[in-house]
Structure formats: structure tokens, C-alpha cells
Amino acid sequence: MGKWKDGAGTLTAAGPPTAAGPLDVPLEIAASYRARRRGLLGRDGVPGALLIVRTNSVHTFGMRFPIDVAYLDRSFTVLSVVTMPPGRLGMIRPRGRHVLEAEAGAMAGWGLRRGVRVRVATDGG
């Protein structure tokens, strides 16, 4: 992907082992400094996932709910998935280029785990 901008899109994941095929998940993209900084702060939940581009670390200070965090490399391969309760500072992932955030437990249902590659499509291209 070239130039990122705030908006919506779709995350395509492998799905759990019992799934018949790939799963499409609604995606919000945070690319601007302001959107990346805000993330999921002040929200009570998230429909689907939030992709924060150009980052390799997140925190959950000020969050209202626990989240799953998937660290992605430049080819959108999952480096690791962790669940973070509110009030935590995540470790920096040196090879990480992007971060996916979702409500705790969601990523297991999407089949996201280390080594899985996801696809991101932005609305409008």
C-alpha cells in the first residue's frame, strides 16, 4: 500500500480452522497523527478492527475495555498477538510496521496468530 489515509476498509483474515474460507472484517484505518494518537481511546467497543499504520507499539492508558493487539510486519504478516487490559504499555516490536486492535478475544475467532498473513483493502481503492 502506498500513501495511507484515515478511513474505512476491510481486513481479510484466514478465519479459524473450522471456517469454510477467509473472513472479511470491517476495518477502520488510522493514518493521520491525530487518528493514530486517538486510536480506541474513549470508546466502549469497536465493530471489527482498527488498523494503526506506521507504528510498532501501543498503550491502553485511558482505554475502557481490554483489547487484542496484532503486530504486523511490512507484508502484513502477524508477528504476534497479545491481549492487553486497560492501563498497560505494550512492548516495541522492532520488525513491526502496523498494529491491528480489536476487542479482546476477537482475533482468535478470526484465525489471527503468529505467521498468518492478512489482507487490507481500503474503501475507494
How many domains would you assign to the chain?
Answer: 1
pTM for the predicted model, two decimal places:
0.92
Task: Determine, yes or no, domain membership for 96.
Answer: yes
Give residue 124's pLDDT: 64
Whether residue 2 lies inside any domain: the answer is no
CATH of the domain at 93: 2.60.120.1140
Is there a domain that residue 13 lies in? yes
Q: Each residue of 93-117: pLDDT tens digit? A: 999 999 999 999 999 999 999 999 9
H helical segments located in the chain: 33-38, 106-109
The residue segments making up the domain with residue 94 are: 7-122
**Structural domain contains residue 58:** yes
Distances (CA, A) of 53 to 14, 58, 101, 118: 21, 11, 11, 14
Does residue 1 lie in a domain region? Answer: no
Pairing mode of beta strands 23-30, 7-13: antiparallel
The torsion angles phi and psi of 58, rounded to 5 degrees, stand at -140, 170
Query: pLDDT tens for residues 65-78?
Result: 999 999 999 999 99
Residue type for position 116:
V
